[in-house]
Amino acid sequence: MKQFLTLIFLIATFTHAPSSIKESLTSYLDTNWAVLYKNEGSKQQCVQNTTIKKENLFMSGSDQTNATFKFELPEDTKIGSYPIKYRISGTSFLHLICNKEDVSFSFHPDFPEQTVLFS
């Protein structure tokens, strides 16, 4: 029985799918890029960059812009703190703690810490 439980534990540990980070912006953003960093002590290391996809939607009688972006993380991604930078000036980043799981959320780009909503 111990061997069986050990085998199940090892399989669960080493056979996980790559994780991803999916984001949706609730307001117009004047840029088309986002960069994912990894905090390594006092340094930030660039992990990936991506393009922000924008689409116009007609909702509640008016045109609204919906923007999304996604990062696909490799299997060897370390657990830790990951800031996402999405513009050069002003409030421009949001910090996540990734634990090799899929993360999906939305936020207002001008008030990221106050408006983030995980789903």
**What pLDDT does 40 receive?**
87
Structural domains of the chain, ranges and CATH numbers in brackets:
17-118 (2.60.40)
Whole-number Å distance between alpha carbons of 93 and 97 = 13
Burial annotation 1-33 (CB, 10 A radius, 16+ → b, else e): eeeeeeeeeeeeeeeeeebebebebbeebeeee
Read off the pLDDT of residues 11-64 as tens digits, 9 standing for 90 and up: 444 444 457 888 787 777 778 899 999 998 888 899 999 998 888 877 778 877
User: How many CB atoms are closer than 10 A to CB 75?
Assistant: 11
Contact 62, 17 (CB under 8 A): no
**Mean pLDDT computed over every residue of the chain:** 78
